[in-house]
Copies of this chain bind each other. A is one copy, B any other.
Amino acid sequence: MAEKVVDLLCIGAGGAAYPAAFRLARAGRKVLMVDPKGVMSGNCLYEGCVPSKAVREMASLAGATRRFSTQLGRAELSAPDYAAIVQHKDQVQARRYAQHAQELAAQPGIELRKGVARILDPHTVQIDDDQGSEKIRCHHLLIASGSDVFVPPLPGAEHCLTSHDLYKPDPALRALPKRLIVVGGGYIGLETASFFAELGSQVILLQKGGQILNGMDPGMVALLQPLLPAGMRILTDVDVQRIEAQGALRRVLWQRAGQEESGEAEAVLLAVGRSPVIPEGCEAIGIEFDRHGVQVGPSLQTRYPHIYAAGDVNGRVPLFHAAVRQSLAAAHNILGGNQPLDYADFHNVPTTIFTLPAAAYIGMTPAKAAGRELAVGRYDFAEDSRAQILERLEGEIRLFFEPSSLRLLGGWIVGIDAGALIGQIGTALSLGATAYDLARFADQHPMSAEGIGKAARSLF
């Protein structure tokens, strides 16, 4: 029997895969996506950004109704219904899965197979599924296998939940734990900790190093941390020893400053990182990768010009929207005959920590400036109309400019609307804006974006 031949085989069907798949299919190319889940969107929709934001928005709303309970006509507040929140989350996921299924059905030329892909040679991939194995020949290969929760070899790790257990469709956890211990102060742990604290849990977060959000700008983190919900206790420089199960309860034991300490909770979230999923066969054909992922440059090409790696699996910018952009760049370069038509920008990608409140940043911040002098424009939300209307006076917008050209190099927002404002700042950055440009734009009043112009104007 003749081998099946496709123009593009995508290992994965998430944000790094399907934008390329659709673009090539629209160009008349034959595409096959192989994914162990058998559905589009990867971990982002399955257990990542979308479901966590569905929980987040409910927690945020619960906080707002608490703040304005008088205006809303409620003398006494009832507690949020976590089961209903999970149901909402499940519905959001179900709706998007249905929508993606429709999109797939509507686009000729793409097939999605549930299965596991193994690279046999640079142009051949074997797919293993319930039905058996099949070899597929492909003109181009896009490695878009994403990343998975990293579970460290910690005694009792099996007693912990991961983000998977919290956010996947029909998750295990359906009741709000009275107490939650979060192991890991990266953005996933920190976001979840803040949601549950806002919803009423008592939360302890344990961070190995001296700073939460390790790798992000300490200046920004120092602004964010005090604004996190009152119900959150953050411990740093913690060395977690083990987790013990005591019936439905969990006990986490750790060392801190030479002391043994422990905490008890109804649930423990283990969130110490994610690892790229390197498809089998990569090593055999000599594709270079390390623990961060498959090595690619901005054209997303591996050492084989026709083999691309996009999204979390290359470890460059492990964010869904970066994956989408990389996927499209890879698609453009495949269309270009592996002679690049497009490059993915690894530096100027907006990153939001969707805690309550959130922080967001893009581009160069002082910690990345490596001693380079920066001109700084600032705006405090304390003076912001919208912040005052929402009674969220904390936080700021800070912009960083090259001091003589005043070209925008980066910025951050801590506080209200961070996830929206970073879009405007990032757009300006991607367009090569200067402080002069930003200062001349009449930002909509009374919106928090006024602070962008005002931060720029603080230089004049």
In the complex with contacts A68-B88, A427-B427, A459-B340, A349-B432 CB distance below 8 A? no
Contacting residues, chain B, for A77 (C-beta < 8 A): 73
Q: Mark A57-89, 1 if CB is under 8 A from B, else 0.
A: 110011011001011111001111100110010
In the complex with contacts A419-B447, A420-B447, A444-B423, A347-B68 CB distance below 8 A? no
Docked complex Cα distance between A99 and B383 (Å): 8
Stretch from A24-32, A119-127, A152-160, A188-196 forming part of the interface with B: A24-32
Stretch from A238-246, A267-275, A282-290, A330-338 forming part of the interface with B: A330-338
A422–B445 CB distance below 8 A: no
A449 nearest in chain B by CB position: B423
- The count of identical subunits is 4
| A44 CB contact (under 8 Å) in B24, B80, B445 | B445
Docked complex Cα distance between A115 and B349 (Å): 52
A257 an interface residue at 8 Å Cβ cutoff? Answer: no
A321 an interface residue at 8 Å Cβ cutoff? Answer: yes
A128 an interface residue at 8 Å Cβ cutoff? Answer: no
B49–A71 CB distance below 8 A: no
Q: Which of A15, A390, A430, A437 has the most CB of B within 10 A?
A: A430
Contacting residues, chain B, for A427 (C-beta < 8 A): 424, 427-428, 431, 433, 438, 441, 452
A402 an interface residue at 8 Å Cβ cutoff? Answer: yes
A335 nearest in chain B by CB position: B335
| A298 CB contact (under 8 Å) in B68, B84, B403 | B403
A350–B443 CB distance below 8 A: yes
Docked complex Cα distance between A352 and B360 (Å): 25
A68 nearest in chain B by CB position: B61
A407 an interface residue at 8 Å Cβ cutoff? Answer: yes
In the complex with contacts A72-B62, A433-B431, A404-B344 CB distance below 8 A? yes
In the complex with contacts A389-B92, A436-B436, A442-B349 CB distance below 8 A? yes
CB distance from A105 to the nearest CB of B (A): 15
| A343 CB contact (under 8 Å) in B64, B404, B457 | B404
Contacting residues, chain B, for A430 (C-beta < 8 A): 405, 437, 440-441
Q: Which of A79-135 contact B (CB under 8 A)?
A: 79-81, 84-85, 88, 92, 95-96, 99
| 10 pairs of residues in contact across A and B, judged by CB atoms under 8 Å | A24-B337, A27-B336, A65-B72, A321-B450, A335-B337, A343-B405, A419-B447, A420-B448, A422-B444, A432-B433
Instruction: Please give the residue numbers on chain A whose beta carbons come within 8 Å of chain B beta carbons, in ascending order.
Output: 15, 24, 26-29, 44, 49-50, 53-54, 57-58, 61-62, 64-65, 68, 70-74, 77-81, 84-85, 88, 92, 95-96, 99, 297-298, 319-322, 324-325, 328, 332, 335-352, 360, 383, 385-386, 388-390, 402-407, 417, 419-424, 426-428, 430-434, 436-438, 440-450, 452, 457, 459-460
Question: Besides A49-B446, A321-B443, A347-B402, 14 other CB < 8 A contacts?
Answer: A27-B336, A28-B337, A71-B80, A92-B389, A324-B445, A341-B460, A343-B406, A343-B459, A345-B406, A350-B444, A420-B421, A420-B447, A420-B448, A423-B443
